[in-house]
Amino acid sequence: MPIYERLIEDHHRQRVLLGRIVDSTGSLESRRRLWQQFRLVALCHADAEEMTLYEQLKASPSGLERARLSMMEHKEAAEAIERLDEMDMANPEWLEKFQSLARVLRHHMKEEEEHVFPLARTIISEIVARDLARSFNKRRGALA
Ligand SMILES: [Fe+2]
Ligand SMILES: [Fe+2]
């Protein structure tokens, strides 16, 4: 499997968790559990994505700008995640801020799938893309 398909699987997992967190209106306990799950997946995904796909893109003149932009978005998302993690979930502002993070992340994943991966396919060979999937799994698996 080339890395793109693996990343899309992971994006799907994040989208499902984002939706479940919004839906978990009845129980703060389950929202907390889902949030911790999501937080770990989102942070580990971005980390492993940077160490594999974006490492390769950065090395190419036509991929450098795009890689920088995505990595900046990862950094901003990670900061927003940590701010939310420190906030009291019972505060109604928490869900508002969470929803704005969810919008940003959905947009980021869509951009990756519609623009970054097609660009990467023109830069990275099929064989390397498969190797990257293995490296991604190793890194990602070690973390979450
Ligand atoms: Fe990303
Ligand atoms: Fe991603």
* pLDDT tens digits, one per residue of 27-42: 899 999 999 999 999 9
Q: What ligand is nearest to the CA atom of residue 11?
A: 2
Burial class (CB in 10 A: 0-12, 13-18, 19+), 104: middle
Cα→Cα distances 92→12, 25, 44, 84, 88, Å: 27, 11, 27, 12, 9
Instruction: List residues, by chain if needed, whose CB lies under 5 Å from ion ligand 1.
Output: 49
- Residue 94 Cα to ligand 2 midpoint, Å, equals 24
* Averaged pLDDT, 2-21: 96
pLDDT by residue (tens digit) across 51-105? 999 999 999 999 999 999 999 999 999 999 999 999 999 998 999 999 999 999 9
Cα→Cα distances 4→20, 68, 110, 134, 140, Å: 24, 18, 13, 12, 14
- Residue 43 Cα to ligand 1 midpoint, Å, equals 10
Q: How far apart are CA 24 and CA 127, in angstroms?
A: 42
Q: How far apart are CA 31 and CA 29, in angstroms?
A: 5
- Residue 110 Cα to ligand 2 midpoint, Å, equals 9
pLDDT by residue (tens digit) across 104-126? 999 999 999 999 999 999 999 99
- Residue 48 Cα to ligand 2 midpoint, Å, equals 9
Contact 10, 45 (CB under 8 A): yes
- Residue 126 Cα to ligand 1 midpoint, Å, equals 20
Q: What ligand is nearest to the CA atom of residue 8?
A: 2
Contact 13, 41 (CB under 8 A): yes
